[in-house]
Structure 1
Amino acid sequence: MSTPTPGRCTLVGAGPGDPELLTLKAVRAIASATVLLVDDLVNDAVLAHASPTARIVHVGKRGGCKSTPQAFIDKLMITAVHEGEHVVRLKGGDPFIFGRGGEELEHLRAAGIEVEVVNGITSGLAGMSSLGAPLTHREHAHGVVFVTGHAKPGDTGTDWVLLAHTAHQAKLTLVIYMGVSSLAHICQGLQSGLPAHTPVAVVQNASLPTQRQVLTTLGELVATVQGQDLHSPCIIVVGDVVQGARAWQKAEPHTAAQRIA
């Protein structure tokens, strides 16, 4: 009787949306998978790299929408690996930046499964790059903080007041994921420590043909997002580095809030 071939699991970052931003290592992992568990924000064009014989399972994960329970996804991965499959868990952006990759890693290791991780370009970086602006700058930003605007149920979430004071004193760029639904609360906290004229960029659908972006200030952020009807998935970038955006440099600061592409 033959011994079953041991399975394996790879957590793969599919990047922010543009399939050309996939890494070569991600392409190889996708091509070698026998089972792919695919998040909702992964571009369908990425699946062109999958084997024709691979089983593709869509396990939607999108903020504000009905999602596949995380426990069910964990069970699917573990079961498939024990059956000898090469499971690729395909996630938008990077698995370890608000992709629950850490949680999945813990569950897989607890089941005795070794995991490989393939990083992907996160939307916070891709969104700012598309505007021609950096996240750090020797004069304007000595560091960058990636933070979620979506608190886990029962959790108090980010202390926006404390974060604002820290960002102001340490000259940090704030990159906020999943913050649109709580934007009024976030802005109220941030304005306790950051000036109302602090530049802000909001990028929806970063790197995709449907990308939209708006440049504004912290004091005008809520009104601008509502007025321009921007929705998730959005990245919100707060800090002086936003002034490096091409559109900001072409506009007067007081008219930047009206500039959208």
Structure 2
Amino acid sequence: MEKKGKVYLIGAGPGDPELITVKGKRLLSQAEVVVYDYLANKKLLAHAPKDAIFIYAGKKGGSTHTHSQDEINQMLVDHARAGRIVVRLKGGDPFIFGRGGEELEELVRYGISFEAVPGVTSASAAATYAGVPITHRRFTSSVAFVTGHEEPGKAESRIAWDKLATGVGTIVFYMGIKNLPSISANLIRHGRDPQTPVAVVRWASTPEQRSVVGTLANITEVVREAQITPPALVVVGEVVSLRDTINWYEQRPLFGKRILVTRSREQASELVQSLEDLGAACLEGATIALEDPEDWGPLDQALARIADYHWLLFTSPNAVAFFFRRLAALGGDSRRLQGPRIAAVGTATAASLLSHGIRADLLPEKFTAEGLAEALLSQGVQGRKILLPRALKARDVLPQSLQQGGAEVDIAPVYRNVRPAMAADIRQALEEKKIDLITFTSSSTVTNFIDLLGLGTEELASLLAGVKIAAIGPITAATAAKAGLTVDIQPATHTIPGLVEAIAAYFS
């Protein structure tokens, strides 16, 4: 039976990738083809299968379109007729100034099956993220969405300015920056008070959001002086006066800070999410990639005699993840670990163990290899057999300290660090001074970052001039200092939450 294609027209929301609907995200995960716009956050593409066909069909004001509307329509038709599941991902809501209706009309003409999924429209998001409720009982119960994209020289406007100016409480203009002088003049000419508050919001709901406030009489000059450019929305109405009271988004402690996160991609999500929740714009520049060891022999042999060990030590969540993945591949689970007591270097590692149903028997006061060694030595390790699953290359302070205390330590590599290439956009951002802070969460992230840049001491200092450095703990900080970097932020608690808290406190 021939497979039938289908098109899903999905609203991607205004910019914040978490504002996509649950249904939109689910359908995106099933896509075979994704046709996405300029205003659709590219982070959403991570929800689609890696082997999907991705087609950029962005239309950016003031520049040449990647594809004409007719070409986009034909793409949707062709891929659907080829039997593929197509997601048409459009910023905001596709039925509000999104030309979604036009695209669906074309699908109907060819008899192609489709569904439309609404999204959070930019007008609502821009007002909300700027601290402006577009309706409020004390001010207005009516709101209008209007295109601001009409050409000033048109012989006849489709906007009934005489009715709009005084007949609606709040007016939101999409794509109105270019014609802002004309918009203000028309509203005033048809009876709107020149002192009516106006807010202009650029890149709403993203870390790049910028908002300015004025009145109909002066908003054009305010926007010009602030150099606000598209994409931006214009909100007109008395409700704008509430921004001073409920401007929540732009008041977050890291709002507008641009932070480079150098963790591996497998680990970066927790740190990135925590920083972005506080308002930061994060750029992921992995300096480490994690892979299986080339030889599982040492771990497999240790697991075969696991009952002989007195202690099983975990020094990172990565070690936990790779250890249990191998254990599962061998047909085992946590029940195989009866016998040895289990220690974790810190709370994050302990939490990873707990996700496998194991509560750590020992957690040191200091979350470092030195701290773990000290805690074990205080209990006595003479004659004890200890298994240490860890990275192929790691500091030897823990096994050496335990061996000096009389323990027999077996090291079993469970993963290895591989250095990826540095992405061109990372270097460009550094060269253009678009990074405020770099985070380092291990010594290897520091050394790999510097090696990937391939610069001498003076060139490195010049490139990172003005960039703040955050290190998760004393070992990482010492590695950074040895490389000539000045560490500005170091948390008292050497964990990701501790690092995030220290960064927020520093910028506050």
TM-score, normalised on structure 2?
A: 0.46
Give every structure 1 segment of 4 or more consecutive aligned residues whose post-TM-superposition deviation is greater than 4 Å: 152-160
Distance change (3 Å), C-alpha of 1:124 and 1:227: same
Deviates more, 1:150-159 or 1:74-83: 150-159
Runs of at least 5 residues in structure 1 that lack an aligned partner in the other structure = 250-260
Deviation of 1:132 after TM superposition, in Å, equals: 2.2
Secondary structure in 2 matching 1:175: strand
Secondary structure in 2 matching 1:37: strand
2:197–2:213 CA contact under 8 A, matched in 1: yes
Equivalence for 2:38: 40
1:150–1:157 CA contact under 8 A, matched in 2: no
Q: Which amino acid aligns with 1:197?
A: Q
Which of 9, 14, 17 aligns to 1:16? It is: 14
Deviation of 1:114 after TM superposition, in Å, equals: 2.7
Q: Which amino acid aligns with 2:2?
A: P
Q: Quick one: distance in 2 between partners of 1:223 and 1:122?
A: 27
Q: Quick one: distance in 1 between partners of 2:93 and 2:171?
A: 18
Secondary structure in 2 matching 1:84: coil
2:165–2:187 CA contact under 8 A, matched in 1: no
Deviation of 1:168 after TM superposition, in Å, equals: 4.8
Equivalence for 2:238: 240
Q: Which amino acid aligns with 2:177?
A: V
CA deviations 1:171-191 (Å, max 9, x no partner) are 421100111111111111111
Equivalence for 1:258: none
Residues 1:6 and 2:9 are matched in the alignment: no
Secondary structure in 1 matching 2:214: strand
Equivalence for 1:196: 194
Secondary structure in 2 matching 1:219: coil
Deviation of 1:110 after TM superposition, in Å, equals: 1.1
Secondary structure in 1 matching 2:139: coil
Q: Quick one: distance in 2 between partners of 1:126 and 1:208?
A: 10
Q: Quick one: distance in 2 between partners of 1:182 and 1:168?
A: 16
Deviation of 1:133 after TM superposition, in Å, equals: 2.0
Equivalence for 1:185: 182
Secondary structure in 1 matching 2:34: strand
Q: Quick one: distance in 1 between partners of 2:49 and 2:170?
A: 40
Equivalence for 2:126: 127
* Matching of residues 91-130 of structure 1 within 5 Å: 91-130=90-129
CA RMSD of aligned residues (A): 2.1
1:13–1:119 CA contact under 8 A, matched in 2: yes
Q: Quick one: distance in 1 between partners of 2:188 and 2:152?
A: 25
Runs of at least 5 residues in structure 2 that lack an aligned partner in the other structure = 248-255, 257-508
Deviation of 1:52 after TM superposition, in Å, equals: 1.1
Q: Quick one: distance in 2 between partners of 1:229 and 1:35?
A: 37
Secondary structure in 1 matching 2:54: strand
* Matching of residues 164-243 of structure 1 within 5 Å: 165-192=162-189, 193-243=191-241
CA deviations 1:124-146 (Å, max 9, x no partner) are 11111112221112231221111
Deviates more, 1:238-247 or 1:88-97: 238-247
Deviation of 1:155 after TM superposition, in Å, equals: 6.0
Q: Which amino acid aligns with 1:240?
A: E
Equivalence for 1:78: 77
Q: Quick one: distance in 1 between partners of 2:183 and 2:40?
A: 27
1:215–1:248 CA contact under 8 A, matched in 2: no
Deviation of 1:166 after TM superposition, in Å, equals: 2.6
Equivalence for 1:252: none
Q: Quick one: distance in 1 between partners of 2:68 and 2:113?
A: 22
Q: Which amino acid aligns with 1:235?
A: L
Identity rate, percent:
42
Secondary structure in 2 matching 1:201: strand
Q: Quick one: distance in 2 between partners of 1:51 and 1:43?
A: 16
Deviation of 1:109 after TM superposition, in Å, equals: 0.8
Q: Which amino acid aligns with 1:70?
A: Q
Q: Which amino acid aligns with 1:93?
A: G
Secondary structure in 1 matching 2:218: helix
Residues 1:26 and 2:24 are matched in the alignment: yes
Q: Which amino acid aligns with 1:207?
A: S
Aligned length: 246
Deviates more, 1:240-249 or 1:148-157: 148-157
1:151–1:157 CA contact under 8 A, matched in 2: no
1:95–1:120 CA contact under 8 A, matched in 2: yes
Q: Which amino acid aligns with 2:148?
A: G
Distance change (3 Å), C-alpha of 1:73 and 1:152: farther
Distance change (3 Å), C-alpha of 1:234 and 1:5: same
1:205–1:234 CA contact under 8 A, matched in 2: yes
Deviation of 1:89 after TM superposition, in Å, equals: 0.4
1:16–1:126 CA contact under 8 A, matched in 2: yes
Secondary structure in 1 matching 2:179: helix
Q: Quick one: distance in 2 between partners of 1:228 and 1:212?
A: 9
Q: Which amino acid aligns with 2:231?
A: P
Q: Quick one: distance in 2 between partners of 1:82 and 1:153?
A: 41
Secondary structure in 2 matching 1:32: coil
